[in-house]
Structure 1
Amino acid sequence: MTLPDRFCDATFENYEPQTPSQAEALRIAREFVAGVHRTPSWTERIRKFLGAMDDRLPQGLYFVGPAGTGKTHLLAAVYNALGPPEDCAFLHSSTLFRQTEPPDAFAHRLADQYAVCCLDEVEIDDPANEMRLAGVMKTLAARGVPLLATSNVAPEEYLATQLGDGRIQRFLRTEVREAYRVVPVRGEDYRRTREVQQSGRGWIGPPEGARWAMRQAEADASGPSRWWSFADLRRATTETAHSNLVDDLTALDHLFIEGVTIADTDDAFRLLRIVDALYLHADAPTLYFTAEQPPDDWFAPDQHAGLAQAVAEKFDRTVSRLHALCRVQEVGQEGVPHS
């Protein structure tokens, strides 16, 4: 329930808005924190004492927009700005979806411990999980605990609005907008358009040339390292529990993945879980990879439909993070970089 190491230093001051939408989102986030910290007036205290005033904190926020616009930075900045004395939870949506207890019970447990909850990367790929999320959001709203969330999609675009029952559809399409302020965060992916310091490398081109280039990097690397084919990585994700696999990989200094190829939704899921884990882990190894096609062409949304399209849209965030981890370069048959 704590902030990932990568975002421990996130503040409002070091968030750099590039568009009017991002500037407005920053203003709204600051306004939310100010509202939580504001000391009630004597009149408000008297009204609260007499039961004539709702003492709940300000409504929640739902930051929505494409990958790489700084939504998680804003969410982490809110978390850091609230700090003590406010008890604030920070969790990824996967943590919520792994819970075995009923959604309302989990939400009540959160409400008993925290004054504010931050939920990162709400995803659109599983109607059952989306309905679980809806239950948590509804219970937190009823308990007066603000939920701040980030997502690439608006609530009314969830698959559950197409496949769920009428109550879920009504909640996602109308009631969320009453309990949560939906805040667009638009703009270009800063990981692709701005100078980002990357420690890893990616080589795109003929297998022989890309492999030769990565072997040169392996020869220059010091410390524990591992060379895996993409098939090796895929097999590891099926044979090893995810947490154990992440622990194993983060014990390395360098991880080399040869021949990344995304053939289907399953491949995309397995790779995105690894890349996302490495992106967020403080002790992640430097990542290197080879592929015949650039990452942006591995699993494009416009080439899929239905659930596969939803996965492809989520995979776009992973590709964005891959650009933050690795400097991607095209090479020729002999491993020579293209000018």
Structure 2
Amino acid sequence: MQQRLVDRHPEVPADQLVAQMVPPPTFDEVSFASYIPDPQQPSQAAAVLKAELFADQVTKLHRAASKKSLFGKKKPVSGIGLYLDGGFGVGKTHLLASIFHSVPGPKSFGTFGEVTNLVGALGFNNSVERLAANSVLCIDEFELDDPGDTMLVSRLLSELTARGVSVVATSNTLPGQLGEGRFAASDFMREIKKLGSLFEPIRVDGPDYRHRDLPPAPEPTSPELLAEKASHTPGSTLDEFEALLKHLSTLHPSKYNALIHGVSAVYISGVHTVTDQAVALRIVVLADRLYDAGTPVTVSGAKLDEIFSQEMLDGGYRKKYLRAISRLLALSRFEAPATAS
């Protein structure tokens, strides 16, 4: 019988939220050595060297913070910060995960949304205590479109760095603003004034590697072929777009990872342009979780680069929507192994 995502109702205990804060499977084995800088983009090689140096500094700081004085007290040490700023798909997450893998534990890795979900689930003080022993907190896709969330995370980072936790974050500069200098970096520094002097911004330029030297994303599949492909793909799910959107509205975004756990491929019928912002933001979170898991996505209906209306792409959440499109297009090029008819 064909599985559906809408039939899944995962529960994720709050105490598992910290334990699961590790790089996604796509970045399990990455390292500084496996990052291949584009020779046409010298900032990439420079970013690798800076990230390696940062990881070395974090390791030394963590060891120093762990040492006790003659009176049995730990020496107070403040954490350091690094901010990787650049366009979509230039390998910032690769570098972020490489830093994570290179430093001693305990350590945590999560998207900006996962960090805010953690604080929401555990409470602010509890989150601080659970992360305070870390050598580093890696935050992917630092977002500035929600002032409340931004200031919440700013306060969290202030508390953690004062207790010796180093922080490294990434963010995207919009493609149309790459020529305007450090757009994202300047916003980042302005929004977290308390931490402005802590973070050293590093630029990572280049084209989106997810689409470099690749053919255009495939056209949407016919509904009949979509159902046939799903039926011949073990472990896959097949959902109608509207039903899936309704189901997502019943789940906290922190559960989306559990929702797709173990799914080999996702098939969605009847995709159309979304005009409701709350719905669109749920699609963004789902796209992030699917991309982290490397789960192939095949659809019928509208093209995946038409899933968000132009009005949305021109609005305040433009960054999120463009990232989601980039990731969904990448996943649409994957093919899950199918069984014989």
Q: TM-score range by the shorter chain?
A: 0.7 to 0.9
Task: State the alpha-carbon separation in 1 of the partners of residues 318 and 144 from structure 2.
Answer: 10
Partner of 1:59: 80
Instruction: Give the direction of change, closer, same or farther, for the CA distance of 1:140–1:185 in structure 2 (3 Å limit).
Output: same
Q: Does 1:299 align with 2:308?
A: yes
**Residue deviations 1:204-253 (CA, integer Å, cap 9, x gap):** 3xxxx73344345345x232443222112111112345565654543443
Task: State the alpha-carbon separation in 2 of the partners of residues 226 and 184 from structure 1.
Answer: 39
8 Å contact from structure 1 (residues 155, 176) kept in 2: no
Instruction: Give the direction of change, closer, same or farther, for the CA distance of 1:239–1:222 in structure 2 (3 Å limit).
Output: same
Partner of 1:21: 43
* Amino acid aligned to 1:63: L
Instruction: Give the direction of change, closer, same or farther, for the CA distance of 1:102–1:248 in structure 2 (3 Å limit).
Output: closer
Partner of 2:152: 132
* Amino acid aligned to 1:312: R
Flag the structure with larger Rg.
1
8 Å contact from structure 1 (residues 121, 149) kept in 2: yes
Q: Does 1:116 align with 2:136?
A: yes
Q: Does 1:253 align with 2:258?
A: no
Aligned length: 290
Instruction: Give the direction of change, closer, same or farther, for the CA distance of 1:214–1:32 in structure 2 (3 Å limit).
Output: same
Deviation >6 Å, runs of 4+ = none
Partner of 1:229: 240
Task: State the alpha-carbon separation in 2 of the partners of residues 15 and 251 from structure 1.
Answer: 28
**Residue deviations 1:163-183 (CA, integer Å, cap 9, x gap):** xxxxxx5x63x5433111111
Displacement of 1:202: 4.8
Partner of 2:110: 91
Give the SS at the match of 1:178: coil
Query: How many percent of aligned residue pairs carry the same amino acid?
Result: 26
Partner of 1:6: 26
Displacement of 1:73: 0.7
Partner of 2:54: 32
Instruction: Give the direction of change, closer, same or farther, for the CA distance of 1:77–1:251 in structure 2 (3 Å limit).
Output: closer
Partner of 1:190: 209
Q: Does 1:272 align with 2:320?
A: no
Instruction: Give the direction of change, closer, same or farther, for the CA distance of 1:247–1:143 in structure 2 (3 Å limit).
Output: closer
Displacement of 1:298: 3.3
Give the SS at the match of 1:259: strand
Instruction: Give the direction of change, closer, same or farther, for the CA distance of 1:245–1:139 in structure 2 (3 Å limit).
Output: closer
Q: Does 1:315 align with 2:321?
A: yes
8 Å contact from structure 2 (residues 256, 285) kept in 1: no
Compute the RMSD of aligned alpha carbons: 3.4
Instruction: Give the direction of change, closer, same or farther, for the CA distance of 1:244–1:78 in structure 2 (3 Å limit).
Output: closer
TM-score (norm 1): 0.73
8 Å contact from structure 2 (residues 51, 99) kept in 1: yes
TM-score (norm 2): 0.72
Give the SS at the match of 1:125: coil
Instruction: Give the direction of change, closer, same or farther, for the CA distance of 1:136–1:242 in structure 2 (3 Å limit).
Output: closer
Displacement of 1:2: 2.5
**Residue deviations 1:19-49 (CA, integer Å, cap 9, x gap):** 222222111101112333459xxxxxxxx99
Give the SS at the match of 2:249: helix
* Amino acid aligned to 1:223: P
8 Å contact from structure 1 (residues 224, 253) kept in 2: yes
Counterparts in 2 of 1:173-188, with a 5 A limit? 174-188=193-207
Displacement of 1:106: 3.1
8 Å contact from structure 1 (residues 124, 310) kept in 2: no
Partner of 1:287: 297
Displacement of 1:124: 2.5
8 Å contact from structure 2 (residues 86, 172) kept in 1: yes
